[in-house]
Structure 1
């Protein structure tokens, strides 16, 4: 009796890098994807469009760009994630991109996390992304009041507001 041949999964599925079911649903919307990838020290946000030969990155924003605007605090926390989202939303507005869909990949999501802070920044900048208001972090966490009380930094919220105004004013 013959043995059945094994079917081999896609390489990226085997390596647990891509969820093709989720990717197909996102691609069927035919809108750019807002891809948010957090790391311990930084936050990266990209607007990506699907093309048959391969995805094309339209716009990219990284929390490292906040240093150029004068941000001197950690780039891996909730306030810097919000500012990164605001930055990518502003760049998208300049390129006349009005809507997108959130793509978090295989990240586990928690209400009020850095990913949702970045999403709120993009929504506040003017991008139309379908999401619920319940998932966003509290306004006090976005402004960094929990950090300023812990580290005893008085000018944290002033610094946050000045960087936010710089992002919104930059052409």
Structure 2
């Protein structure tokens, strides 16, 4: 079958839906380091990437797995609270590496107000790194107050379901009702460790 003289095959990563080359081009032309926030089923990965013709260079990175291993985090590793703490940790590392500003690279994600993507970015901004954004994030949500309220309500209404739903929290030694105070404790550790 003839395709014609004007037929042009798109790049493989574009066909697979992995890379938006126009958006990437705008990041490269800006000359500013990219703040990359990505999610897996189990964790949150945040990194600061510098463009290089041979391939992007990682200036600093942080993973929510580190929160549990190094800083005593007992909550979930992929919720909004962990996203904020991971972003805060990356911001402190980036500042130590001499980076002062970055631009958010959302990849192919659709931006949604209040999502973990923006909560992680809020953590980076609160650490002292400049990211040009106007963020409206629910402060109570990033501290885990919504989880604590739900746990309290569930414990009163159905104690068996409460134990079943939050079984992973209890295995890690954390009562879900104490999540906001545990968040403050880990945030203080992150602030002290990076000073």
Shared fold (TM-score greater than 0.5)? yes
The structure with the greater share of residues assigned to helix is 2
Give 1:7 shift. Answer: 1.5
The whole-number CA distance in structure 1 between the counterparts of 2:125 and 2:51 is 21
8 Å contact 2:36–2:104 — kept in the other structure? yes
| Counterpart residue number, 1:69 | 71
Q: CA RMSD in A?
A: 1.3
Gaps of 5+ in 1: none
Q: TM-score, normalised on structure 2? A: 0.82
Gaps of 5+ in 2: 153-175
Give 1:40 shift. Answer: 2.9
The whole-number CA distance in structure 2 between the counterparts of 1:55 and 1:95 is 16
- Residues 100-139 of structure 1 correspond to what in structure 2 (within 5 A)? 100-134=102-136, 137-139=137-139
Q: Secondary structure at the match of 1:27?
A: helix
Relative to 1, partners in 2 of residues 1:10 and 1:3: Cα closer, same or farther, differing over 3 Å? Answer: closer
| Counterpart residue number, 2:185 | 162
Give 1:150 shift. Answer: 1.4
Relative to 1, partners in 2 of residues 1:102 and 1:3: Cα closer, same or farther, differing over 3 Å? Answer: closer
Q: Aligned pair count?
A: 168
Query: Would you identify which runs of 4 or more consecutive aligned residues in structure 1 move more than 3 Å?
Result: none
> Looking at CA atoms only, which structure, 1 or 2, has the larger radius of gyration?
2
- Residues 36-47 of structure 1 correspond to what in structure 2 (within 5 A)? 36-47=37-48
